Amino acid sequence: MNIILLGPPGAGKGTQAQRIVEQLGVAHLSTGEMLRAVVASGSDLGQQAKQIMDAGQLMPDELMVRMIAERIEEPDCAKGFILDGFPRTVPQAEALDAMLAEKGLPLHAVIEIQVDEAALVARIETRISESQTARSDDTVDTLKRRLDVYRAQTAPILPYYRERGQLRAVDGMSSIDEVSQQIGEILQASVRA
């Protein structure tokens, strides 16, 4: 199965993606994780990426599309993949559609994890206080900027998928188990469809 998980930063996309990976054996494609690996490499690109990520801004579409196009070719994606953090702009969504069409790959589900922004800020505060190895983009100020960026640049992809009849939503304010269950039901329905 090929799945897209959408939702603002802190909505729990990574946690839910991990669970789907365990259940379905699909590959977890997190562009944030890929970028953090580039940052850790210390390359020039990594240094530029760190600045952009710490500022809560988005990396250029072209680079992100290339990253995903290459990653989808890897053998572990043959059983399917879950995209977590990509697409994040309408041009990325359009490029993904073109890429999947060219490779003859279907998109089985686009799932939005809906959350309340005030609750997200509270969640991130907990994550920061509990985390030994806090991500350098995990600050309340950065989260607020990332939420602004999400509203301005990423939320417009919701109507993009809704118009195509592909968008399904789950209530991200429910418990982790309940969200997983809702996602499971959507995935089962998309297999039957």
In the complex, residue closest to ligand AMP by CB: 32
What does the block give as tokens for 138? 């995990």
Residue 192 Cβ vs ligand AMP, minimum distance, rounded to whole Å = 30
Residue closer to ligand AMP, measured from CB, 40 or 191? 40
Residue 191 Cβ vs ligand AMP, minimum distance, rounded to whole Å = 26
Residues 6+ positions from 105 with CB-CB distance below 8 Å: 2, 72
Residue 90 Cβ vs ligand AMP, minimum distance, rounded to whole Å = 12
Residue 86 Cβ vs ligand AMP, minimum distance, rounded to whole Å = 4
| 115/174 Cα distance (integer angstroms) | 9
Residue closer to ligand AMP, measured from CB, 122 or 191? 122
User: Residue 99 belongs to what H/E stretch?
Assistant: helix 90-103
DSSP state, residue 78: T
Residue closer to ligand AMP, measured from CB, 16 or 31? 31
Residue closer to ligand AMP, measured from CB, 74 or 185? 74
Q: Which residues bind ligand AMP (CB under 6 A)?
A: 9, 31-32, 35, 52-53, 56-59, 64, 85-86, 88, 92, 137, 146
Residue closer to ligand AMP, measured from CB, 49 or 189? 49
3-state DSSP of 140-187:
HHHHHHHHHHHHHHHCCHHHHHHHCCCEEEEECCCCHHHHHHHHHHHH
SS3 192: helix
